[in-house]
Amino acid sequence: MSKARSTDYCRVRCGRSETQMAYWLFKTEAETFSWDNQKSRGAKGEPWSGVRNFQAASNMKKMKKGDLGFFYHTGDEKRIVGIVEVIGEYRKDPTDETGRFGLVDVKAVKDVPKPVTLAAVKAEPKLKDMILVRYSRLSVQPVTDEEWKFVCKMGGL
């Protein structure tokens, strides 16, 4: 991300609805692969592998380069801690012995200054229909433009 794009991140990325960009939420156990792990991968990013749920895989098939996603820690934390960008579209997951599932590549873009907890999302009436609230076990989820903007605001972006 260029310096200008990074500087204008909140205004451009969190507030735009005029583009075809899609938004997502990626869930991971912090003990297995944390936000710090993701950030340490730098511009080359990391394959989002190991997804073995058909709905989550279907969501990943819809992703395009440039789409953004919330990076969500599950387990004890249950909070959105960062933002990632899809840098590689869906392809076969070499960790899947069955050959039925794939992966996308993502890179860290920005920390969420004020991590947004699941409890805060559930307490917000404007987010009552967010998939994170309704189907919290789904590991890769779509996020609407409105939800994206609202959660960005909650997170101090």
Task: Band the pLDDT of 136: cuts 50, 70, 90.
Answer: confident
pTM above 0.95, yes or no: no
- CATH superfamily of this structure's domain 20-154: ph1033 like domains (3.10.590.10)
Q: Following CA atoms 32, 35, 39, 45 in sequence, which dihedral angle do they give, to the nearest 10 degrees?
A: 60
pLDDT above 70 as % of the chain: 88
Task: Band the pLDDT of 19: cuts 50, 70, 90.
Answer: low
CA distances from 78 to 14, 26, 74, 75, 118 (A): 21, 12, 5, 6, 6
- Cβ partners under 8 Å of residue 149, min gap 6: 14, 15, 17
Report the half-sphere exposure of 23 (CA within 13 A, side-chain side). Answer: 21
